[in-house]
């Protein structure tokens, strides 16, 4: 009897594409004698029907056990009809002749169900032959087949509703169910329940640069690592995108959650090999332990999410356990998208500026525009809180255009006010870059504002240039024709070969700040930075080291002959006026006008 399993702990029910029936059977040829067929039925009491094939092996009829055995049980029947071929028998009017319905293995269960219902076969004793690669998988009657299909459907529906289709782990719905149960149980048993959020760092980059199929396989591999790092009693679920959650059930001591978190971080640090790519990925984890104040799981989810954001804010690849005082960034995260839609119209975005300094002359040679969102209720939000939402919703396109327009206006205003010439770096998201006629939009904005295009530098992510498509190349070449500069942001965190550097008209590499961090004590970082600088020199590219925080980091970078730098060591990003006030004060800038006049001109 075929069994359709309900999903077990590990997930998926068996889901054959065709309903397989009772047992494999060998059909009988049409010239087989009735006595031989009778013998076959006697030998196998589970055989309740037999297909009969013609000389080409095509099934032409089904002999049904009950009718056949009953017929030959009558007095003298064997003697009279036994030697006849089964073909003569089935054409005999004495027995109801029924043409079989044959379906192929590729027939979906839905179609089988449709046939049964359309032909009114629900109550039929026999009728179907299911074939598999030309062999007979079996015969079945409409009634039990329909039963099985229904059961199967139920299992499938349950699976679809409760399990993540990609990774096979429980989805948000099942997870919430189990979390609710576990919290109730914990209150009764006086044990503790922990909730852990796992969010992959820079997963989007993998997806953008290597494609969704690599991204999907990576998610499956991550799900497996999470499962093997968690305890057997824990539930690992995928909440969507690159977000996973783990229900830590029956914790004896909250410290156990730390142990599991550490194990997960370690296990994810091993490289993944996906479709020939060796990928390195890290994750940020947030943990919340259920307490009696958490009257619903919503508050526990919010806490774990807040802890995860805290881990992200603190440099990623780490975990945090929720403490009161963490900002509930995720609180009604969904509503952020709604708010984002009206943010441009309501003039809620602001640009902050951070200087880029020439390490040889000490002069400020550029400035990067970094967006902030002055949210009416949540205060000033940094890009970490909304860029992803903006990208997912497509809102990044109008937002990106707003940024470009305002950054151009600002640099033009500064130039008009007599500030020394600086280039203005503007971040461009992959989605923005790939929009139709991105280059045309850039050109229009630059011309409208009347800014010198060579003062504008577009910071592209490595994922954009990793697509070796002719489209990317032609957009980059067109942008160069417009006259803007092109930089690769967060250089070194990508996953692909660097051959694009030779093919694409890039002007500048911005070394990711993760390589700068503690460079004075991390020889690996120094080696990487030296390699990037050498590479840039050999290709005649500029290099900017990002995220310099300390004098010690700066000293090493100077030693490595890095020529440009940006970071808190000089200035944290500030609104335009504060930036100008700093600039005027900064010793490396020759003052063309007295500071007070300059500020006046700008206000």
Reading the block at residue 335, the tokens are 């509503």
Q: Does 567 bind ligand C2E (CB under 6 A)?
A: yes
- Of 217-225, 359-367, 457-465, 477-485, which part binds Mg ion (CB under 5 A)? 457-465
Residue among 356 and 427 whose Cβ is closer to Mg ion: 427
383's contact among Mg ion, ligand C2E, none, with CB below 5 to 8 A by partner kind, is ligand C2E
Please provide the distance, in angstroms rounded to a whole number, between the alpha carbons at the two ends of the chain: 83
State phi, psi for 362 to the nearest 5 degrees: 80, 0
Q: Which of 547, 560, 562, 598 binds ligand C2E (CB under 6 A)?
A: 547
Q: How far is the CB of 369 from Mg ion (least distance, A)?
A: 9
Among positions 59-88, residues that touch ligand C2E (CB under 6 A) are none
Q: Does 573 bind ligand C2E (CB under 6 A)?
A: yes
Q: How far is the CB of 432 from ligand C2E (least distance, A)?
A: 7
- Of 200-208, 215-223, 305-313, 381-389, which part binds ligand C2E (CB under 6 A)? 381-389
The burial of 145, by beta-carbon neighbours within 10 Å (0-12 exposed, 13-18 middle, 19 or more buried), is given as buried
Q: How far is the CB of 315 from ligand C2E (least distance, A)?
A: 7
Q: What CA–CA distance (Å, rounded) separates 286 from 381?
A: 20
Q: Does 427 bind Mg ion (CB under 5 A)?
A: yes
Q: How far is the CB of 190 from ligand C2E (least distance, A)?
A: 42
* Length of the chain as a residue count: 603
State phi, psi for 424 to the nearest 5 degrees: -110, 115
With contacts defined by CB under 6 A, how many residues of the chain interact with ligand C2E?
Answer: 23
DSSP 33: B
Q: Does 489 bind Mg ion (CB under 5 A)?
A: yes
Q: How far is the CB of 427 from Mg ion (least distance, A)?
A: 4
Question: DSSP characters for 514-568?
Answer: HHHTTTTT-HHHHHHHHHHHHHHHHTT-EEEE----SHHHHHHHHHTT--EE-ST
Task: Using alpha carbons, select from 112, 120, 105 the residue that is nearest to residue 145.
Answer: 112
The pattern of x and - marking residues 435 through 474 that bind ligand C2E according to CB under 6 A reads: ------------------------x---------------
Q: Which of 211, 271, 298, 383 binds ligand C2E (CB under 6 A)?
A: 383
- CB within 8 Å of 214: residues ≥ 6 apart: 206, 207, 274, 275, 277, 279
The burial of 314, by beta-carbon neighbours within 10 Å (0-12 exposed, 13-18 middle, 19 or more buried), is given as exposed
Reading the block at residue 600, the tokens are 């006046």
- Of 180-188, 493-501, 544-552, 574-582, which part binds ligand C2E (CB under 6 A)? 544-552
Q: What CA–CA distance (Å, rounded) separates 36 from 82?
A: 9
Q: Which of 107, 224, 382, 393 binds ligand C2E (CB under 6 A)?
A: 382
**Residue 346 contacts residue 568 (beta carbons within 8 Å):** no
Task: Using alpha carbons, select from 111, 125, 107, 35 the residue that is nearest to residue 71.
Answer: 35
The pattern of x and - marking residues 98 through 137 that bind Mg ion according to CB under 5 A reads: ----------------------------------------
- Of 13-21, 237-245, 270-278, 490-498, which part binds Mg ion (CB under 5 A)? 490-498
Q: Does 549 bind ligand C2E (CB under 6 A)?
A: yes
Longest dimension (CA), the chain: 125
Q: Which of 164, 242, 459, 462 binds Mg ion (CB under 5 A)?
A: 459
Among positions 403-422, residues that touch ligand C2E (CB under 6 A) are 403
Q: What CA–CA distance (Å, rounded) separates 407 from 584?
A: 19
**Residue 51 contacts residue 59 (beta carbons within 8 Å):** yes
371's contact among Mg ion, ligand C2E, none, with CB below 5 to 8 A by partner kind, is ligand C2E
**Residue 460 contacts residue 480 (beta carbons within 8 Å):** no
573's contact among Mg ion, ligand C2E, none, with CB below 5 to 8 A by partner kind, is ligand C2E
Q: Does 387 bind ligand C2E (CB under 6 A)?
A: yes
In terms of phi and psi (left: phi > 0; alpha: psi -120 to 50; beta: otherwise), the region of 280 is beta
Q: What CA–CA distance (Å, rounded) separates 215 from 277?
A: 11
- CB within 8 Å of 279: residues ≥ 6 apart: 206, 210, 214, 218, 271, 272, 273, 495
Residue among 277 and 333 whose Cβ is closer to ligand C2E: 333
3-state secondary structure of 231: coil
51's contact among ligand C2E, Mg ion, none, with CB below 5 to 8 A by partner kind, is none
Task: List residues binding ligand C2E (CB under 6 A).
Answer: 354, 370-371, 382-384, 387, 400, 403, 427, 429, 459, 489-490, 513, 546-549, 566-568, 573
Tell me which residues touch Mg ion (CB under 5 A). Answer: 427, 459, 489-490, 546
């Amino acid at each position: 009897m075929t069994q359709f399993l309900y999903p077990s702990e590990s997930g998926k029910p068996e889901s054959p594409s065709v309903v397989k029936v009772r047992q494999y059977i060998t059909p009988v040829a049409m010239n087989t004698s009735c006595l031989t067929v009778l013998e076959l039925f006697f030998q196998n009491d589970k055989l309740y029907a037999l297909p009969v094939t013609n000389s080409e092996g095509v099934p032409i009829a089904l002999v049904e056990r009950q009718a056949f055995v009953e017929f030959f049980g009558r007095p003298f029947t064997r003697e009279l009809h036994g030697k006849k071929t089964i073909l003569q028998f089935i054409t005999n009017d004495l027995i109801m002749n029924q043409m079989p319905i044959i379906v192929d293995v590729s027939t979906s269960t839905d179609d089988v169900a449709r046939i049964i219902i359309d032909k009114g076969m629900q109550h039929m004793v026999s009728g179907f032959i299911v074939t598999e690669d030309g062999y007979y998988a079996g015969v079945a009657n409409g009634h039990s087949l329909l039963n099985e299909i229904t059961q199967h459907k139920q299992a499938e529906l349950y699976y679809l509703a409760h399990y993540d289709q990609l990774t096979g782990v429980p989805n948000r719905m099942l997870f919430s169910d189990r979390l609710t149960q576990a919290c109730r149980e914990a209150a009764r048993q006086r044990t503790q329940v922990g909730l852990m959020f796992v969010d992959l760092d820079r997963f989007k980059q993998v997806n953008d640069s290597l494609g969704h199929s690599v991204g999907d396989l990576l998610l499956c591999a991550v799900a497996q690592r999470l499962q093997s790092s968690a305890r057997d009693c824990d539930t690992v679920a995928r909440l969507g995108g690159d977000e996973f959650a783990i229900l830590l059930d029956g914790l004896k001591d909250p410290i156990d959650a730390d142990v599991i978190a550490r194990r997960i971080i370690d296990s994810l640090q091993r490289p993944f090999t996906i479709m020939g790519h060796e990928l390195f990925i890290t994750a940020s984890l947030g943990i919340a332990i259920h307490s009696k104040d958490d009257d619903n799981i919503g508050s526990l989810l919010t806490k774990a999410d807040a802890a995860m954001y805290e881990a992200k804010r603190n440099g990623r690849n780490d975990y945090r356990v929720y403490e009161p005082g963490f900002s509930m960034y995720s609180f009604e995260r969904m509503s952020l998208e709604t708010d984002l839609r009206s943010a441009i119209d309501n003039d809620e975005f602001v640009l902050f500026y951070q200087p880029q300094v020439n390490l040889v002359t000490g002069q400020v040679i550029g400035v990067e525009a970094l967006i902030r969102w002055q949210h009416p209720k949540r205060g000033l939000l940094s890009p970490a809180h909304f860029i992803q939402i903006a990208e997912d919703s497509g809102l990044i396109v109008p937002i990106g255009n707003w940024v470009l327009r305002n950054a151009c206006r600002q640099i033009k205003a500064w130039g008009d006010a007599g500030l020394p010439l600086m280039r203005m770096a503007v971040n461009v998201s992959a989605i923005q870059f790939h929009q139709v006629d991105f280059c045309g939009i850039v050109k229009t904005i630059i011309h409208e504002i009347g800014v010198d295009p060579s003062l504008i530098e577009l910071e592209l992510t490595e994922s954009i240039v990793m697509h070796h498509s002719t489209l990317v190349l032609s957009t980059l070449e067109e942008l160069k024709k417009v006259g803007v500069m092109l930089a690769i942001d967060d250089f070194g965190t990508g996953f692909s070969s660097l051959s694009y550097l030779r093919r694409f008209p890039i002007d500048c590499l911005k070394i990711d700040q993760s390589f700068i961090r503690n460079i004075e004590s991390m020889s690996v970082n120094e080696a990487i930075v030296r390699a990037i600088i050498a590479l840039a020199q050999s290709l005649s590219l500029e290099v900017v080291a990002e995220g310099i925080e300390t004098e010690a980091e700066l000293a090493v970078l100077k030693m490595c002959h890095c020529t440009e730098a940006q970071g808190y060591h000089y200035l944290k990003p500030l609104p335009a006026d504060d930036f100008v006030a700093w600039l005027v004060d900064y010793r490396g800038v020759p003052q063309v006008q007295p500071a007070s006049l300059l500020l006046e001109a700008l206000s």
